[in-house]
Structure 1
Amino acid sequence: MGFGDFLKSTAKAAINGIQEKQERINKHKEHLQYRSDEEVIRTYKNSSGDLKFAAAMILKERGYGNQN
């Protein structure tokens, strides 16, 4: 196995990891989009990782966090 093969397999693994993470975030977003603002804010405050990131994205889409 040459260095090029190593780079290719490493890149492929990284891409797969990113795709899996994006799928998890999208599933969380689908679940959260039907919740009230208060519930999403509570989820954001009391969670971590992908769930917290998804809650932040939902809140941003709803206009929270815009400093206009």
Structure 2
Amino acid sequence: TVCLQGGYTDETGSYSVGDFAVGTGAQQHEPIADPGEPCIALIVVEKPITLTGPWGRWLNPLVSRGII
């Protein structure tokens, strides 16, 4: 993940514009955008993502088919 605008915080720390983060793949990534401006990030994944929570269960079939 590279932060392009704004910033976010997750279980590994806080990130702002230009910061680069690499995940292990074993973690459950739950970023929270910092207040003040939208957070825009470029994210690359090596395997399909699985969304969590009530909306995640509804959206996962759409994500797995590439609809969203």
- TM over 0.5: same fold? no
More helix by share: 1
| Greater RCO, CA 8 A, separation 6+ | 2
Could you tell me the TM-score, scaled by structure 2's length? 0.27
Q: Which has the larger radius of gyration?
A: 1
Could you tell me the TM-score, scaled by structure 1's length? 0.27
